[in-house]
Amino acid sequence: MNKSDVKIVVIIILLAGFSYIIFNLVKENGNTAFVYYEDKIILTIDLNINKEYVVQGLLGDVVIEVKDKNIRVKEESSPKHLCSLQGYTDSSSKPIICLPNKIVIKVGGGDDIDGVVY
């Protein structure tokens, strides 16, 4: 490992740090989750309510669970169950991506709403 190696490692760390900070500046810690199929929003979820939802993915049903303001994929039909392994998320900088099912779950405030009355 020589000097230029160290340089490139430092550059990468800086890049990672910068992109992390930028993503965090724009991130929304909302209480709404948006479920996308490809680029279309198919479901909007209020994270204040602990509940389970089922959406249709490319390969079959995707079971989404909301618990204590966090959201995760509980069950899915896909070969490796990668997105249920991913666990819970609560911020837009950590979306849940289910590639085989083409489902993306992203947390956000949408219009930055603090609560919903119903």
Partner 1 sequence: MKTKRITTISMLTAISVVIAIIESYFTFLNGIVPGLKLGLANIIIVFALYNYDFKTSLLISVMRVIIVSLVRTGFGLNFFFSLGGAIFSIVAMSLVKKTKLSIVGVSVVGSVFHGIGQVLVGSIILNNHYVIYYLPYLLLLSIPTGVLIGIIAKRILSYDILKLMNNEKK
Partner 2 sequence: MKKKVYIIVLSIILICLILLFVDKNTYKEYSKDFYYMDTYINVKLNSIKNKSEVDAIFEDIDYLYSSYHKLTDRYTSYDGIINVYYLNEVLPDGQEVIIDERLADIISLGIEYYNKTDGLFNIAAGNLIEVWKEFIDECNFLPDDSDLNVNIDINDIILEKDTYVKNNNIKLDLGAVAKGYVTELVGNYLEDSGIYSYVINAGGNVKVGKAYDKESFVIGITDPSNPSTIFTKVNVNNKSVVTSGNYQRYCVLDNINYNHIINPKTRYPVSDKMAVTVVGNSSTISDIYSTYLYILPVEDGLELVNSNPDIEAIWYIDEKTIVRSDNFNYE
* Positions in the binding site for partner 1 (CB under 8 A): 1-5, 8-9, 12-13, 15-17, 19-20, 23, 36, 38-39, 79-80, 82-83, 85-87, 92-100, 102, 104, 106
Residue 49 binding result from partner 2, partner 1, none, given CB thresholds of 5 to 8 Å by partner type: partner 2
Q: How far is CA 34 from CA 10, 80, 115, in A?
A: 36, 23, 16
If the CB atoms of residues 111 and 115 are measured against partner 1, the closer one turns out to be: 111
Q: Which of 25, 79, 85, 111 binds partner 2 (CB under 8 A)?
A: 111
CB of 36 to partner 1, least distance (A): 6
x/- map, 68-87, partner 2, by CB under 8 A? xx------------------
**What angle is formed at CA 116 by the lines to CA 62 and CA 69, rounded to 5 degrees?**
50
- 42-47 contact pairs (CB < 8 A, 24+): 44/110, 45/71, 46/116, 47/71, 47/90, 47/107
- Binding-residue total with partner 2 (CB under 8 A): 26
